[in-house]
Amino acid sequence: MSAPEDFTKRKLWGGRFTGTTDPIMHAYNESLSYDKRMWAQDIRGSQAYARALVGCGILTEQERDEIVAGLEAVGKEWASGSFRAEPDDEDIHTANERRLKELIGAVAGKLHTGRSRNDQVATDMRLWLIDEAHTLETLLTELIAVMVKRARAEVGALMPGYTHLQRAQPIRWSHLLLSHASYLSADLARLRALHPRISVLPLGSGPLAGNPFSPDRVALARDLGFQSVGPNSMYNVSDRDFVAETLMWASLTAVHLSKIAEDFIIYSTAEFGFLTLSDAYSTGSSIMPQKKNPDSLELLRGKSGRIFGQMAGFMMTLKGIPSTYNKDLQEDKEPLFDAVDTIGRSLQIATGVISTMTINEEKMRAALTPDMLATDLAEYLVRKGIPFRETHHISGSAVRLSEEKGVPLSKLSLEELKSLSPAFEQDAERVWIFEESVERRDAIGGTSKRAVLEQCDTLEKALSS
């Protein structure tokens, strides 16, 4: 009589199959090489499910305790780096269950009762992403906090504000910095809003039709820290919208980091010289020793394309999948893992760059020119009671006159200004004071000192909410 077959040497799905799997197919099909990073979440989910099976009458309390302790031992092996994968370990679920059987014996076979890898993997991914989202939130708040701190400390620095990359109006350097922080604050709000849609329990759905042993899914959700219970078993096992949304969030956040990078790359050139990056975030040239390249910023800009590519690729994977679980959904992990890793590192690099760079306030101020105050000249006349459309035309005529005479706009005499409008008086000379220009823009969101510091307060409140 032949020896009984050891199920630890079988694939979980292998009962009806008599032939062996093509080795290339096995390599094509396996996911352990990357989903092993969810080992802790897989163990947490399995321990909670073991506790739930007691209420179903599937496990005794003693069996539950054996399984929970066995899984704890498996987790310690992963944590220490001593876990040894076997060739037939297709994924993290197979690997953990196989090792559990080796440690505690046949009772391990009861753990999979009523559970499918379909609801198991969906649970693991959500648990993993909840943990990662908390980390990303911390990294994002740290970046915003650094930007706000700099804005407060350097609120006195003035610089040109640009539209179309042309000098437009004087602003505070802090105002520019806070404009980027405002984008990131919106990203923070979107990340926080994602959490309830990630924190939905799929476990207890079986492969698609539900669990026939009726585990208490509300208690399972509470045990694992989920905010809600998935409402429909078919939806629960196949839903990956939370992955798509996370990839969309990461893509948009990366675009905002790319915008910061582009501004700072331009401002760090010799032609601008507004800021200098720390050596820690710069590299040199292999042939030109005078070069100091902003590679950190260029990589931030480049990584945004990588993250967007992961999102676009996954959306194409999702679009043609029929109902419930299909193997296409295995393609959810690598894009998600890569995007989360990349955006996390990008946030850390951006924080490092911004916290260590220095600004050249003198060069920023030197780049301010009187023509940038042409709008202020028009606004001066508005305060004299002249409609803006008329004052805009008068200011334009002043610009033309300064160009014809070859002198800065601020060097036009009072008589020359009066030739354009009799409303000009001696106090028009104050139009050319850059500090007064920025201070006049004192409405909420403006670039006056009070308005900028108010923006700092608003952003800091958003961080703590």
Q: For the domain that residue 103 is a member of, what is the CATH number?
A: 1.10.275.10
132 and 252 in a single domain? The answer is yes
Contact status, residue 172 vs residue 449, Cβ threshold 8 Å: yes
158 and 268 in a single domain? The answer is yes
- Which residues have C-beta within 8 Å of that of residue 447, sequence separation ≥ 6? 161, 170, 171, 172, 175, 438, 441
> Of 82, 113, 144, which closes a domain?
113
In a domain, 14, yes or no: no
Residue 381 backbone phi and psi in degrees, to 5? -70, -30
Residue of 92, 54, 51 whose CA lies nearest to 75: 92
210 and 323 in a single domain? The answer is yes
- Look at the chain and report how many structural domains it folds into: 3
393 and 249 in a single domain? The answer is no
Q: What is the pLDDT of residues 269-299, one digit of tens each?
A: 999 999 999 999 887 665 665 668 899 999 9
Q: What's residue 291's pLDDT?
A: 64
In a domain, 108, yes or no: yes
Q: What range does the domain containing 36 cover?
A: 20-113
Residue of 227, 226, 237, 158 whose CA lies nearest to 204: 237
Q: What's residue 138's pLDDT?
A: 98
Q: What's residue 17's pLDDT?
A: 45
Q: Tell me which residues are annotated as active site.
A: 164, 285
In a domain, 95, yes or no: yes
213 and 288 in a single domain? The answer is yes
Paired tokens of 169: 């109006």
Q: What is the pLDDT of residues 4-46, one digit of tens each?
A: 444 444 555 445 545 566 788 888 889 999 999 999 999 999 9
E-assigned strand segments in 245-329: 275-276
Give the number of other Cβ atoms within 10 Å of residue 87's Cβ: 9
In a domain, 459, yes or no: no
Kindly report the average pLDDT of the chain as a whole number.
Answer: 94
Q: What is the pLDDT of residues 351-370, one digit of tens each?
A: 999 999 999 999 999 999 99
In a domain, 148, yes or no: yes
76 and 148 in a single domain? The answer is no
> Of 58, 91, 113, which closes a domain?
113
Q: What's residue 393's pLDDT?
A: 96
168 and 245 in a single domain? The answer is yes
State the DSSP code for 158. Answer: E
Q: What's residue 267's pLDDT?
A: 97
358 and 417 in a single domain? The answer is no
Residue of 428, 346, 435, 12 whose CA lies nearest to 207: 12
Separation between Cα atoms, residue 241 and residue 235, nearest integer Å: 10
Q: What's residue 287's pLDDT?
A: 63
In a domain, 344, yes or no: yes
Separation between Cα atoms, residue 330 and residue 327, nearest integer Å: 6
> Of 337, 366, 395, which closes a domain?
366
CATH value at residue 283 = 1.20.200.10
Which amino acid makes up residue 42?
D
Q: What's residue 292's pLDDT?
A: 80
In a domain, 383, yes or no: yes
In a domain, 462, yes or no: no
Q: Where are the alpha helices (DSSP H) in 154-294?
A: 173-198, 217-224, 233-238, 241-267
188 and 294 in a single domain? The answer is yes
Q: 359 has which bridge partners? A: 275
CATH value at residue 396 = 1.10.40.30
pLDDT along the chain (465 residues), means of 10: 45 52 82 95 98 97 98 98 94 97 97 96 98 98 98 98 96 98 98 98 97 97 98 98 98 98 96 94 68 90 97 95 94 97 98 97 97 96 95 95 95 95 95 97 97 98 91
Separation between Cα atoms, residue 105 and residue 113, nearest integer Å: 16
Query: Treating both helix axes as pointing N-terminal to C-terminal, what angle do 295-318 and 333-356 enclose, rounded to 10 degrees?
Result: 160
Residue 271 backbone phi and psi in degrees, to 5? -65, -30
383 and 425 in a single domain? The answer is yes
Q: What is the pLDDT of residues 54-75, one digit of tens each?
A: 999 999 999 999 999 999 999 9
213 and 283 in a single domain? The answer is yes
Phi-psi region of 359 (alpha: psi -120 to 50; beta: other; left: phi over 0): beta
Q: Please give the model's pTM, rounded to 2 decimal places.
A: 0.92
86 and 227 in a single domain? The answer is no
